[in-house]
Amino acid sequence: MTEPPSSLPYKTRFALTHGGPADRALSRMGLITPLVKRIVLFFGVGWLPLLILSAFEGVAIGNAVKIPFLFDIGEQIRLLLVVPLLLAAEPLIGPTLREAVEQFPRENLISADEFPVFQSAIHQAMRLKESVLAEILLIGLVIVADIAHLDAIHMAFASTWLYSPSATGPIRSLAGWWLAFVSLSAYRFLLFRWFWRFFIWARFLWQVSRLRLQLIPTHPDRAGGLAFLGDAQLRFTVIIFCGSAVIASTLANLILYGGQSPFEFKTPIFVYIFLVICLVLFPLFTFTPKLIALKEKGQLEYGSLSMSYSRLFDQTWIQDIAQKTTLLGSEDIQSLAAMDVSFRMVKGMNIVPFDFETIKVLVLAALLPFLPLLLSIIPVQEAWDKLRMFLL
């Protein structure tokens, strides 16, 4: 295989989760690092004022409203768990994706004449990540979502810390205004930015899948040498967990305070889990045509090679066996065994750069936040038996 040009420095070039207009602005204010500082900042700006304002209005705890601030499961999970996880996902996902990108030239998966195209795909991804226009559009989406939230009736069936029913309609509290314009705005920006980053990553994988990749059908990873992409995709389990946690906590509010039955949400939960797993794995399917072609080509080539070698082996060791003094230590027999292993590896090659173990991890990440709800409608023993069968 052709060695990648040594003049192409790929180290630290693909940085999907660092940089961008918002990060640069925070960096100037000294708020980018360390991670704990950003989480504490959001806690001080996004959650603590809500506690203070709701306590001032007498709706932080107690019986003044049906859903006090500290008992609002949806908002507590969103602000105290999901937002920190969205921030913590950056150092967890970013370096792994960079390593995956660097794996292509390191393992000589890109031919020399395709390196300029590969490098161009990296540059395009970084330009999209650094795009001022993109983040302005994200902020626009946040504003639109904020306005839509103002028109929505949050838990209209019961008085809440956000606003209480009155003769003229719901009256929003001070804490409700702060949630709408500060806390949720920050949460939505982080969430929308992760959607944008995932799109950039998926686009990059699609561009790479169109290159003439130098794959090997007998690679031990059973994916032609691309299984590392499935391992990298597993890092998005953090984002999957966050999405499930938000939905599960919202459903918990509807069940506990709205009187709705958990059975109403059984089908939507499983549909959501199926769709989110498909979404995360979809970019990897762009490599399927190449892996199918590689597998078919490998089966033909190794099948032909195996036939030729087996015919020679048969002639040497079966037809002319009388001329052989011993079978012990024969390299012919060892080579035949190695040929068998190689052909089995080609035949067992996956046509996607991930395996069932990857799917298991993604499903567990999506399912975990829903377990308390599912256990209220499915017997614990039955749920455990189904989960054990899935894992085994």
Q: pLDDT per residue over 14-29, tens digit each? A: 888 887 788 777 777 7
Contact 200, 51 (CB under 8 A): no
Is it the case that residue 9 has pLDDT exceeding 50? no
Q: What is the mean pLDDT of residues 351-364?
A: 91
Whether 295 has a pLDDT exceeding 80, the answer reads yes
CB 130 within 8 A of CB 21: yes
Question: pLDDT band at residue 309, thresholds of 50, 70 and 90?
Answer: low
pLDDT band, very low/low/confident/very high, at 276 (cuts 50, 70, 90): very high
When comparing pLDDT for 12 and 244, which is higher? 244
**Banded pLDDT at 340 (limits 50, 70, 90):** low
Does residue 8 register a pLDDT over 70?
no
- H or E stretch at 163: strand 163-164
Q: What is the mean pLDDT of residues 346-360?
A: 88
* Interval 187-192 mean pLDDT: 94
* pLDDT recorded at residue 121: 93
Two tokens, residue 377: 């409608």
- pLDDT above 80 (res 311): no
Give pLDDT, residue 2. Answer: 45
User: 12 versus 301: which is more confidently predicted?
Assistant: 301
Query: How many angstroms separate the Cα of 130 from the Cα of each of 100, 230, 247, 336?
Result: 20, 26, 30, 55
If you average pLDDT over every residue of the chain, what do you get? 83
Residue 160 has pLDDT above 60, yes or no: yes
Length of the chain (residues): 392
Q: What is the pLDDT of residue 248?
A: 93
Per mean pLDDT, which range of 61-65, 84-88, 363-367 is the poorest? Answer: 61-65
Q: Say if residues 216 and 224 touch (Cβ distance below 8 Å).
A: yes
Q: Is the pLDDT of residue 372 over 80?
A: yes
Q: pTM of the prediction?
A: 0.85
pLDDT over 90 percentage in the chain: 46
Report the range out of 105-109, 152-156, 345-349, 379-383 with the highest average pLDDT.
105-109
pLDDT value, residue 306: 67
CB neighbour class for 46 (10 Å; exposed up to 12, middle 13-18, buried from 19): buried
Residue type, 10: Y
Region 306-329: mean pLDDT is 61
Please compute the mean of the pLDDT values over residues 292-318 and round it to a whole number: 76
Of residues 190 and 64, which shows the higher confidence score? 190
Above 60 in pLDDT, residue 297? yes
Neighbours of 361 (CB within 10 A): 15
pLDDT at 154 over 70: no
